[in-house]
Amino acid sequence: MHDCGLVASGDIVVNGTLVAGRADSLADARIAAGGTFTIGEGANVTIYGGFNDAIINATTSPSLWRDYGAVASAGGAMTVNGSLALNGERLSGSPVKVAAKSLYIGAAGVVHADQGGWARDVIFGIETDYAPGGQNGGSYNGGAYGGFGGGYNNPKDYGNKRTYGDALRPYLPGSPGGNWSEIRGGGALRIEVEGSLRNVGTIRANGTTAGGGSGGGSGGGIWISCGKFVNGADASLLAQGGGNTGDNGGCGGGGRILVCEKLTPAQIDALYATGVAPRKVTATEVTDENVAEVFAGTVSAAGGFSTRNGATNPYWNGTAGSIWHLAGKATKFIIGVR
């Protein structure tokens, strides 16, 4: 449900600050241009997702997650030379979405869902955390998602091995680390582009970096579907776990990244339904060894690093999440704003 925001039949140009919705709202906000949507250099656009009880405890129901969330969309080209921040709601972990005919992210441009995933909260005096990779109570472990969360107090193993979700349908957000309500996982960011997506700037869904006696948040989920994906030599695509600057806390595990090129709508539907690569689609798992062969620039779902302890004991750090690339043979990808 989109109850607030800005909808224009023509073009939208933002050269200042534009905010749609608010934190802890019950409604998903959207900014939708019937024509082009341009965010100028130095401009800031923020869109908030709302609380949604339909997706609470429904982490195995991808169709529900597909239908909700904050949206930035353009019927024509979208150009981001400033900042486009999409924030999911902290308790339900609501997803966020960018949809356009084509998308260009300039060198100074950032599209991000940093710290837009699940968080711990206190409701009626009870600590509440719906995140499958979260850490309740007094635990200082990092949050998990695609990778393990780091341990604490001189760990001898990774403190949080509660990984979840699917590498080939990363529709879920990241999870919080333990012991502080402001720690959040990275958001669930979907980018659906009919034609080309050219990124020479930054796409991110990172978890919160922690300090003191708390654990870092895990990286979020980034799912890109487009006709053609170009990541520039100096560009970044990141779903990294939050680090830790304190003596006692673990770091967040890495998130999940999936880039789909030239998949048909039916193939995307099949991914949502099964999490398995469709027939006639080439699936490549991206690792440190082959990442430069698949993508230019920096593409990472690394776990967070403990600046105090990580160099001497790797169990403080989070482990890496997943990165996959799927290539189909379709001639056209059709977007749909749900």
Of 21-30, 103-112, 261-270, 296-305, where does mean pLDDT reach its minimum?
21-30
- What residue type is assigned to position 259 of the chain? V
- pLDDT at position 336, please? 43
CA 24-169-128 angle, to 5 degrees, is 35
Nearest Cα to 129, choosing from 163, 161, 162, 91? Answer: 91
**CA atoms within 13 Å, Cβ hemisphere of 48:** 16
So what's the pLDDT on residue 123?
Answer: 56
- d(CA 252, CA 51) in angstroms, rounded, equals 24
Quick one: 58 exposed, middle or buried, by C-beta within 10 A (0-12, 13-18, 19+)? Answer: middle
Which among 97, 114, 243, 85 has a CA at the least distance from the CA of 187?
114
> Two tokens at 190?
């979907």
Question: Bridge-partner residues for 119, per DSSP?
Answer: 184
Residue 2 pLDDT = 52
Residue 320 phi/psi, 5-degree rounding, is -70, 150
Q: What pairing do the DSSP bridges indicate for beta strands 228-231 and 196-199? A: parallel
Give the mean pLDDT of 277-293: 95
Whether the predicted pLDDT of 334 surpasses 60: no
Binning pLDDT at 50, 70 and 90, where does residue 1 land? very low
Express each pLDDT in 178-190 by its tens digit: 876 678 999 999 9
Quickly list DSSP for 33-87: ESS-EEE-TT-EEEEE----TTSTT-TT-HHHHHH-SEEEEESSEEEESSEEEEE
Distances (CA, A) of 300 to 114, 154, 254, 297, 321: 14, 27, 8, 10, 9
Integer Cα distance of 148 and 195 in angstroms: 35
Tokens representing residue 112 in the block: 């991000």
- Percent of the chain with pLDDT strictly greater than 90: 71
Cα atoms in the Cβ-side hemisphere of radius 13 Å centred on 186 = 41
Comparing 26-30, 63-67, 258-262, 326-330, the range with the smallest average pLDDT is: 63-67
Report the b/e string of 141-162 with b at 16+ CB within 10 A. bbbbbbbbbbbbeebeebbbeb
pTM for the whole structure: 0.94
Please tell me the number of Cα atoms within 13 Å of 118 on its side-chain side. 30
Of 79-83, 186-190, 235-239, 332-336, the one with minimum mean pLDDT is 332-336
Whether the predicted pLDDT of 125 surpasses 60: no
Percent residues over pLDDT 70 in the chain: 92
Split at pLDDT 50, 70, 90, the class of 64 is confident
pLDDT at residue 62 is higher than 90: no
With residue 30 as reference, give the H or E element that holds it.
strand 28-33
